[in-house]
Amino acid sequence: MKALMNQYLGQRDWMAHVPMKLLAGPLLILMILSMMILPLPPFILDLLFTFNIALAIMVLLVSMFTQKPLDFAAFPAVLLFTTLLRLSLNVASTRIILMEGHQGGDSAGKVIEAFGEFLVGGNFAVGLVVFLILVIINFMVITKGAGRIAEVGARFMLDAMPGKQMAIDADLNAGLIGEDEARQRRSDVSQEADFYGSMDGASKFVRGDAMAGLVIMVVNVIGGLLIGMLQHDMGFADAARTYTLMTIGDGLVAQIPALVISTAAGVTVSRVTTDQDVGQQMISQLFVNPQVLILAAAVMGLLGLVPGMPNLVFLIFTALLGGLAWWLMRQKERRLVEKEIATEAPPSPEAPEASWEDVQLVDTLGLEVGHRLIPLVDARQQGELLGRIKSVRKKFAQEVGFLPPVVHIRDNLELGANAYLLTLKGAEIGRAEAFPGQWLAIDPGQVTGELKGVATQDPAFGLPAIWVDGSQREHAQVYGYTVVDASTVVATHLNHLLHRHSAEMLGRAEVQKLLDKLKEEQPGLVDDIVPKAISLTVLQRLLQNLLEEEVSIRDMRTILDALAEHAPQQQDPHELTALVRVALGRGITQQWFAGRDELKVIGLDSQLEQILTQAMNGNGALEPGLADTLMTQTEQALERHEASGEPPVMVVQHNLRAMLARFLRRRLRHLAVMSQAEIPDDRTLRVTTVVGGR
């Protein structure tokens, strides 16, 4: 017994914790179904009919004040419940009309009597006509139109769902929105499609309700005549008048709310989603043009002057429309005057004091584009160049050994329409043009045909090239051209300049991050070198020296090992650079001679090498004549060497390497100067081209 009591109390506690809003739906359905089964007194019927009318008005007002369909997403369910409520009231009223109708017009309630007597004047013929007109308006006009709009809207929404989902994914990938907003937008798209699909089916409820109203009216009239004459000994005329008026009142009190609900459905599905409700849209768009109102007033005035027309009524509307047009014109003129005053005499507030917020730090890397290149860098237009720039930065970090700064992109109206400008610390480092929608056909030197287009040069490497249309792309590839699009051109140019100016981008912050990253793996090595053996400034200068000669600094472990050996005896960054290059010799050799056992390089004539050694041991400077001769002969040797397909690498004595590298790279930036000490012992070195030889 105690267990049963505990179980009962537990069930009561569970029921106490259930929110009432969760029970509203089931209770409403049970009440509606009970009205179909249980007889209701006239007063309760009056309350329910009045509630039905109030509910219909509330639904209409809510639909008028919503700004988008999803603001009233529960409308299909509301439509179902209101339809069931009207049908239940029809069943309940039919029961009481047939059972108590012989007692008089108010036997079924005051509401039905008022609709049957007052609204149609007690004339059942007029009431019948009004009832049929309401049914036709509801069934043939409003419900049919709303159902068609919902059907088409559902179809279009389903067709547009993939595009909307792709747009959301694109915004998410571009970083314009977060995960939560993307999830909410996907939910809104799905709910909107479900809403229009539900509205398409829910409109059938109203059409069925109209048909049921006709059937119920016929049943009530015929049933009332039979019951009145056969059971209550009423005459045909009395029975027809009594039961027909009550039936028409019952039909009207049900069809008028149904018409209001149908109108609300039409308003909900036919609205255009804006920041205004339906009333604001109608007023702001219908009564906004004074010319329209003037023409309407003129037409109404002409009709008012026609003999036999109700002149006073037409002239009243003419005056109203004309007055409204005059008021709108005055308002428009006042706004123009206020705008001119604001333009001519702008307020002159006191200039604020300068602050640190006015200081704009220069961007390390910048990309400025002309207006025709904006779609390439606009995330909303899915600009391809944004993804290319991210890939360039990632590839640079993997190859060179540190992460380059973020590229700050902005438009510049002072540039040409197709021009772009690359800046480093605010200074220009590259400028070129790109043509979106066209292709750059680059001539690698062995093309077999000619193309029609705009002749130019590849901005990255200076090769001859032609901008061609998409129709010539396949022809260019067949002729042997290297064909790339505009985004690839800009990204390749950026990548080339990043490598060329990598030393300038390596600051103290980047060096410290490299040390912090290595410290995670070998904390003892980093602590022993920086700052004990070498300062961060000297290490930065050393790494910049390596980058200036396109040597990767990825192998920071080897660099620090070499510094641990030589830094206690040497603090000059240039001397340390030479020693670190020897430690990195295998990697430098691999960079230029990957997959080659025999290293074919450029060398110096022995006599020239002796002269350079003497000059270096003297004052360390080359005579002008010797410098010009050395540069000219090196250019000729490099041209012959590259013509044979060999890498542009010169190998010299270790003590000459630093001086020759600084001198030759002024004009021959792609020439790599290595020392003999940097070549691994297991690689075969062969001098195939000699500078200074005869």
What confidence tens digit (pLDDT) does each residue in 20-38 have?
555 666 776 777 767 767 7
Check residue 76 and give its pLDDT.
77
Q: How large a percentage of the chain has pLDDT more than 90? A: 22
Q: Which of 311-315, 335-339, 558-562 has the lowest mean pLDDT?
A: 335-339
Check residue 272 and give its pLDDT.
56
- Flag whether pLDDT at 423 surpasses 90: yes
Check residue 7 and give its pLDDT.
44
- Flag whether pLDDT at 550 surpasses 80: yes
Name which of 401, 369, 399 is nearest 491 in CA terms. 369
What is the rounded distance in angstroms from the CA atom of residue 488 to the CA atom of residue 441? 12
In CATH, what class is 365-502? alpha beta
- Flag whether pLDDT at 487 surpasses 80: yes
- Flag whether pLDDT at 500 surpasses 70: yes
b/e 473-510 (16+ beta carbons within 10 angstroms → b): bebbeebebebbbbbbbbbbbbbbbbebbbbebbeeeb
What is the rounded distance in angstroms from the CA atom of residue 182 to the CA atom of residue 196? 22
What is the rounded distance in angstroms from the CA atom of residue 128 to the CA atom of residue 135? 11
Q: What is the mean pLDDT of residues 147-153?
A: 67
Check residue 16 and give its pLDDT.
45
Check residue 314 and give its pLDDT.
75
Residues 6+ apart with CB under 8 A from 680: 585, 586, 589
Chain Cα centroid distance, residue 115: 55
Residues in the chain: 694
Q: What is the mean pLDDT of residues 167-184?
A: 72
Q: Which of 256-260, 424-428, 467-471, 630-634 has the lowest mean pLDDT?
A: 256-260
Q: Which of 161-175, 208-222, 454-468 has the lowest mean pLDDT?
A: 161-175
What is the rounded distance in angstroms from the CA atom of residue 428 to the CA atom of residue 389? 18
User: Which of 164-173, 430-439, 589-598 has maximum average pLDDT?
Assistant: 430-439
For strand 407-411 and strand 482-485, is the pairing parallel, antiparallel, or unpaired? unpaired
- CA distances in angstroms from 56 to 42, 48, 241, 246, 262, listed in the order given: 21, 12, 30, 22, 9
Check residue 58 and give its pLDDT.
85
Q: How large a percentage of the chain has pLDDT more than 70? A: 78
Check residue 583 and give its pLDDT.
93
- Flag whether pLDDT at 166 surpasses 90: no
User: Which of 118-132, 203-217, 379-393, 459-473 has maximum average pLDDT?
Assistant: 459-473
Q: What is the mean pLDDT of residues 350-360?
A: 70
Q: Which of 46-50, 479-483, 484-488 has the lowest mean pLDDT?
A: 46-50
- Flag whether pLDDT at 213 surpasses 80: no
Q: What is the mean pLDDT of residues 321-330?
A: 81
Check residue 13 and give its pLDDT.
46
Q: What is the mean pLDDT of residues 351-370?
A: 80
Check residue 17 and give its pLDDT.
46
pLDDT higher at 267 or 473: 473
Per domain, the residue ranges of the chain are: 51-59+78-156+199-269, 284-334, 365-502, 506-585, 596-693
Can you tell me whether residue 347 is helix, strand or coil? coil
Residues 6+ apart with CB under 8 A from 463: 442, 443, 444, 445, 457
Check residue 577 and give its pLDDT.
92
What is the rounded distance in angstroms from the CA atom of residue 581 to the CA atom of residue 560? 12
What is the rounded distance in angstroms from the CA atom of residue 107 to the CA atom of residue 587? 106
pLDDT higher at 270 or 291: 291
- Flag whether pLDDT at 1 surpasses 50: no
Residues 6+ apart with CB under 8 A from 433: 416, 418, 419, 420, 456
* pTM over 0.75, yes/no: no
When pLDDT is cut at 50, 70 and 90, the band that residue 559 belongs to is: very high
Using one digit for the tens of pLDDT, what is the confidence trace for 644-681? 889 999 999 988 898 889 888 888 888 999 999 999 98
Check residue 266 and give its pLDDT.
73
- Flag whether pLDDT at 147 surpasses 70: no
CATH number for the domain running over 596-693: 3.40.50.12790
What is the rounded distance in angstroms from the CA atom of residue 75 to the CA atom of residue 56? 12
Check residue 585 and give its pLDDT.
92
Using one digit for the tens of pLDDT, what is the confidence trace for 281-325? 666 666 667 777 788 778 777 877 777 777 777 788 788 888 887
What is the rounded distance in angstroms from the CA atom of residue 37 to the CA atom of residue 91? 9
When pLDDT is cut at 50, 70 and 90, the band that residue 457 belongs to is: very high
CATH number for the domain running over 506-585: 1.10.8.540
Check residue 206 and give its pLDDT.
67
pLDDT higher at 521 or 310: 521
When pLDDT is cut at 50, 70 and 90, the band that residue 135 belongs to is: confident
- Flag whether pLDDT at 90 surpasses 80: no
Average pLDDT, the chain: 79
Question: Long-range contacts for 221-228 (Cβ within 8 Å, ≥24 apart)?
Answer: 221/247, 223/98, 224/97, 224/98, 224/101, 227/98, 227/101, 227/102, 228/101, 228/102
Check residue 174 and give its pLDDT.
61
Using one digit for the tens of pLDDT, what is the confidence trace for 382-404? 788 888 899 999 999 999 999 99
When pLDDT is cut at 50, 70 and 90, the band that residue 246 belongs to is: confident
Q: Which of 2-11, 230-239, 580-589, 612-621 has the lowest mean pLDDT?
A: 2-11
Q: What is the mean pLDDT of residues 362-388?
A: 87
Check residue 458 and give its pLDDT.
92
- Flag whether pLDDT at 432 surpasses 90: yes
- Residue 455: strand pairing partners: 466
Q: What is the mean pLDDT of residues 149-177?
A: 68
